[in-house]
Structure 1
């Protein structure tokens, strides 16, 4: 039987093997489409996206703080009064304006 013809036993073994493969594939599909699997995968993707976003936000905030600190503090750690004083005056004026508007609103 070397001319390519298969015996009934070989055919039956091949059918049994294909059934097992098909059963395993169907089991895998059933697990993938199960609602709890979908929910778990969706949650994992959301957590991963959130972690990535929080990480990027932290990096951006850290860079902003570093840049702001460099504007007001020298490399030796001393305050740059020529920059701190105008910024403090501007902040005080802004707070005064906001407080003034707040007082006006309450009086009306």
Structure 2
């Protein structure tokens, strides 16, 4: 069996390889085009922001759930034994800020 190729076979290979090369060059041109690079960068940034916001949402949701669990019982009723002391601290803090603010205005 002979591996000799005919001129027609060689020419067909050349045509096929030229077409493959043209496709490869077109793909490279699209990949290195500034608009493509910017689009890819924007997509990566958007994905990163989405992941970060997702993590922040999960974290905030967990914190809210923890706080709710501390001040509301399983039936949904407010736990006054925990709310009243917290409210008292808040009133004292707001009163202190108001008092300091009033003193600054006078002097």
TM (norm. structure 1) is: 0.89
Partner of 2:87, secondary structure, is helix
> What is the total number of aligned residue pairs between the two structures?
107
Is residue 6 from structure 1 mapped to residue 5 from structure 2 by the alignment? yes
For residue 87 of structure 1, report the CA deviation from its aligned partner. Answer: 0.7
Residue by residue over 1:54-84, the C-alpha shift from the partner in whole angstroms, topping out at 9 and shown as x without a partner, is 1111111111111100100111111111110
Per the alignment, residue 24 of structure 2 pairs with: 25
Between 1:47-56 and 1:68-77, the stretch displaced more is 47-56
After superposition, the Cα gap between the structure-2 partners of 1:107 and 1:6, relative to the gap in structure 1 and judged at 3 Å, is farther
CA RMSD of aligned residues (A): 1.4
Distance in 2 between the 1:101 and 1:8 partners?
Answer: 98
Range with greater deviation from structure 2 (89-98 or 75-84): 89-98
Task: Give, in whole Å, the separation in 2 of the partners of 1:105 and 1:30.
Answer: 67
CA distance in 2, matches of 1:104, 1:12: 96
Q: Which runs of 5+ in 1 are unaligned?
A: none
Aligned-partner Cα distance in 1 for 2:80–2:18: 81
Structure 2: 5+ residue stretches without partners: none
Instruction: Indicate how the Cα distance of structure 1 residues 8 and 79 shifts in structure 2: closer, same or farther if over 3 A, else same.
Output: same
**TM-score scaled by length of structure 2:** 0.90
Which ranges of 4 or more aligned residues in structure 1 deviate by more than 6 Å? none
